[in-house]
Structure 1
Amino acid sequence: MKFTIDKTVDIDAPASIVWEVITDLAAYPQWNPFCVECESTLKPGDPIDMRVKLAGRPQKQREWMKEHIPGKRLAYAMKPVPAGALSSGRSHEVKSIGHDRTRYQSHFELRGWMMPLVRGLLGRRLQHGFAGMTAGIQQRAEQLWAQRRR
């Protein structure tokens, strides 16, 4: 059994700009209402340290890079809780869909026997957070693209 959150949006900017927004971790505080701080080398096996705002004060979250295909896909996951209690995975995918248009896909999944409890406590907040981040990526990429075309 798993809990998934999938968000997809078509963005009026080239894939290279969308990818830049996703991977410019230092700029997250400027546009990201969910992950307000983020640091990583983005190298598979290395940590990705975040401060995630689920409610109130942002909380620290450390996950581990699983995949980095430049310009296309970034994936990371939490260290699984023992005995199959809880694990999560997160990915960002970017695909060009035409001249200066990009499809961004966000995927999050939570698994394990503790998943129903976590979903009950945080499910609505996670949905809201990932929706905000997806909208933020779209807004930031379109804004950067408009500035660069001037």
Structure 2
Amino acid sequence: MGYVIAETVYIDAPADLVWQVITDLPRYPEWNPFVIRCESSLTPGDPIDMLVHVAGSAPRRQREWIRSNTRGREFSYTMRPAPLGALRSLRSHTVTPVGDHRTRYESHFELQGWLRHVVAAILGRNLRRGFDGMTAGIQRRAESLRTA
């Protein structure tokens, strides 16, 4: 089993609005405390370039690769695997309507490989804080746009 950070929240906004929030990458700085800049076509195989702020450190550039994108439903990306199976990652966002104006949003991050224990020991608490902040930001942003 890998190192996993997974969270599900119910958002009082339509699924298409939640999808708009998570795919409007240029607006991430307005609500996202973790990924403060993000650029991508979201086309599978293309890069996703991010400026990530992990608490306790300076923001750092990160490039991963879009793995999947089912419009209105989910998208995921992954890092290039490190040599010798040392480390690989998967990050996904899933949006599911549970009514006309309510959505289930699932955030999933996973590290695999023999180096995952070291990364989890060094960055685990701050990664969790970052992903929690991003999830809360998505919820706040979508709900505020719904009422605007």
TM-score range, shorter chain: over 0.9
1:57 equivalent in alignment to 2:58: yes
Structure 1 residue 121 corresponds to structure 2 residue 92:
no
Alpha-carbon offset, residue 102 of structure 1: 0.2
The percentage of counterpart residues that share the same residue type is 56
Give 1:112's aligned residue: 113
Q: What is the 5 A alignment of 1:69-148?
A: 69-147=70-148
Q: Which segments of 5 or more consecutive residues in structure 1 lack a partner in the other structure?
A: none
CA distance, structure 2, for counterparts of residue 34 and residue 146 of structure 1:
24
* Deviation of 1:98 (Å): 1.0
1:18 corresponding residue in structure 2: 18
Give the TM-score taking structure 2 as reference length: 0.98
Q: TM-score, normalization: structure 1?
A: 0.97
Distance 1:139 1:118 in 2: 29
- For residues 119 and 57 of structure 1, what CA distance do their matches in structure 2 show? 18
Q: Distance in 2 between matches of 1:58 and 1:136?
A: 18
- 1:90-139 Cα deviation digits (max 9, x unpaired): 00000000120000000000011111100000000010000000000000
Q: Indicate the SS of the match to 2:81.
A: coil
Quick one: which amino acid aligns to residue 13 of structure 1?
A
Amino acid at match of 1:22: I
The runs of 5 or more residues in structure 2 that have no matched partner are: none
* RMSD after superposition: 0.6
Distance 2:114 2:63 in 1: 21
Aligned equivalents of 1:52, 1:37: Cα separation in 2: 7
SS of the aligned residue for 2:118 comes to: helix
